[in-house]
Amino acid sequence: MNAVAAIMKKEVRDAVSSRWLVLYGAAFALLALGLSYLGQRNLGSVGFENFSRTTASILNLCLMLAPLIALSLGAGSVAGERDRGNLTYLLSQPLNRWELLVGKYAGLVTAISVATIAGFGLAGLAIASFAHSLDVTTYVLLLVLVIALVAVMTGLGVVASVVSANRVQALGIAMLVWFFAVLFFDLVLIGMVSSTSLGGAGLLAAVMLNPVEIVRILAIIHLEPDLQVLGPFGSYVLETLGTTGATAILSAALAAWVAVPLAAGIWLFHSRDD
Amino acid sequence: MSDKTVMVSVKGLTKRYGKVRALDGLTFTLGAGEIVALLGPNGAGKTTTFKCLLGVTGFDGSVEVNGVSAAKRGKEVRRQIGYLPQTPAFDSGDTCEEVLQFLADVKGSDPVRAGELLQQVHLTEQRGVEAGRLSGGMRQRLALAAALLSDPPLLLLDEPTANLDAENRREFLDLIVELRNEGRTVILSTHFVDRLGEIADRVIVLQQGRLALDATMEELRRAKQPGRWYTVNVNGTEPDVLLDALKGIGIGAERVTPVKTHFEDMLAAALAAGSQEEEEPK
């Protein structure tokens, strides 16, 4: 077993035994079930909705909850070892810094993905048992997008962990990132659109600055292919790029959001004197 | 040194933290199989020296372990070093076996060796016990087993007995004597010097990041403070008989007291002699 695999295996084992990840999976399942159940109730008949409506309902839940857990656990990765006085000991082993960081990152993404799949899977099974129609493809697509978002946000959390002196500071930075990406960015976009002549292209570029928005739009493209919910911006995207083009560009941007923070984290970790 | 393979070569090692020089031009060479005591007060640079030897921190100068540069090929150097930190911070929920299994995976060592090492450090019965429930002495022995996983030729032991009571310290030092007999090179940083005369071949003393003393045990035994006192081996002659003899030949001695030579006395004498030499005008 190489060093990356060894670190990854340990990280998965530690994360799975962490109560936070279990709580996250359980909360995901319960909230997905609850949203589906209550959504149908609001339409006048109590019962479980089908997959398509459920995926739309829980999209916002995914975009809030997944980044929160990914950023938090990522923030604890290196800073936690530093706090426990264990980082120098790990670095004294025959491994490179990048191997330690990549192993921790891969382990966390795997563990959070497993918890997400478990939560989603339990909710999906329950909904499939009661709903009249199934849209498994869309449900799975949303799951893939959530895991991609987990990969991005874990990387950002790891960067926060590398540059921080301790876990509390890392968590503080991670929560600021979460607040900005999940809650504040939409307000910034609204302000920019109303106060500047940003245009469709400018708005698309601005969207790519936030991985949460990228995932939101990718999900909407496949949930509502006519993009009516996005208004004039949706029309612009469809007319200039088409569904395939928009998916390709947004997916590439998401991939960059995975690669760039991880590369930056490795570079910063190498430049530190731990 | 000439008849031994060079295991560690340090030349002009300087480490700065901002404007502070934690190590200042340190130079020494260790032969394979030597047991070296690295002494010095807190902040003298002992742990920093270990970090440089491990290649986990940047530095100026040259550090080579078994001919491999710590600055350029840190991972390869670390493969040849077993490091025991002052306070090993294992995950408290992991059992002794899990701790060693994880580190064996990282080092690419044979996992079977973990069981053998638990036996060597007398922790076989504790193999399933969580690291967080081990006593300080047991935790240090577990860390020693971890350091030995890859069968390294060089061991760096950073204050391994600092947090141990007398009994655990004695047991741990016995283990180091065993390692000495296995022919490993060991650098032992410590504050406790009570058994160093028995364990170490050589002593390196750091003061404010500089080399204050580098002497073999034999050189230490010869060290003395000229003109103040002498230790004379008189092959069992009684003190009163010796005092009478001294007076008989006109030496104004007041008292003859039998003494046992302690390592601390030898070290203090060597350091004092060194500082006197430095102060002498040239």
Q: Look at B108 and A3 and tell me if their CB atoms are within 8 Å.
A: yes
A166 CB near a chain B CB, below 8 Å?
no
Residue among B156, B168, B174, B185 nearest B85 (CA): B156
- The string over A126-142, giving b where at least 16 C-beta atoms fall within 10 Å of a residue's C-beta and e elsewhere, is bbeeebeeebeebbebb
Task: Name the residue facing B91 among A14, A85, A94 (closest C-beta).
Answer: A14
Residue among B116, B157, B119 nearest B140 (CA): B157
Q: Which residue has the tokens 């340090």?
A: B10
Which letter does DSSP use for residue B260 in this model? Answer: P
In this prediction the ipTM stands at 0.82
* CA–CA dist B200, B176 (Å, integer): 10
* CA–CA dist B211, B233 (Å, integer): 31
Question: What is chain A's pLDDT, residue by residue, as a tens digit (274 residues)?
Answer: 689 999 999 999 988 887 888 888 888 888 877 877 776 665 554 445 544 566 667 788 889 999 999 999 999 999 999 998 889 999 999 999 999 999 999 999 999 999 999 888 877 777 777 665 556 787 788 889 999 999 999 999 999 999 999 999 999 999 999 999 999 988 888 787 777 777 778 888 888 999 999 998 898 887 776 666 677 777 777 788 888 898 999 999 999 999 999 999 999 999 888 7
Q: Look at B78 and A1 and tell me if their CB atoms are within 8 Å.
A: no
Mean pLDDT of B257-270: 68
Q: Which residues of A touch B81 (CB under 8 A)?
A: 92
Q: Which amino acid is at A80?
A: G
Q: Look at B106 and A92 and tell me if their CB atoms are within 8 Å.
A: no
Q: Which residue has the tokens 């296995």?
A: B182
A272 CB near a chain B CB, below 8 Å?
no
Contacts from B112-120 at CB under 8 Å and sequence distance 24+?
A: B113/B149, B113/B151, B114/B145, B114/B149, B117/B145, B117/B148, B117/B149, B118/B145, B120/B145, B120/B148, B120/B178
Residue B29 sits at φ, ψ, to 5 deg, of: -135, 140
Task: Name the residue facing A89 among B85, B105, B108 (closest C-beta).
Answer: B85
Q: B213-261 pLDDT, tens per residue?
A: 898 887 877 665 454 556 666 667 777 887 787 777 767 677 777 666 6
Note the pLDDT of residue B261.
61
The structure's pTM equals 0.83
Q: Look at A95 and B75 and tell me if their CB atoms are within 8 Å.
A: yes
For residue B52, give the chain A residue with the closest CA. A92
Residue among A105, A156, A122, A152 nearest A22 (CA): A122
CA–CA distance from B78 to each of A42, A125, B50, B64, B143 (Å)? 63, 50, 11, 11, 16
**Token digits for A57?**
């309902």
Residues of B in CB contact (< 8 Å) with A are 17, 51, 54, 56-58, 74-76, 78-79, 81, 83, 85, 87-91, 93, 102-103, 105-108, 150
Task: Name the residue facing A7 among B57, B76, B106 (closest C-beta).
Answer: B106
* CA–CA dist B257, B236 (Å, integer): 12
Q: Look at A88 and B79 and tell me if their CB atoms are within 8 Å.
A: no
* CA–CA dist A241, B6 (Å, integer): 67
Judge contact between A213 and A207, C-beta under 8 A: yes
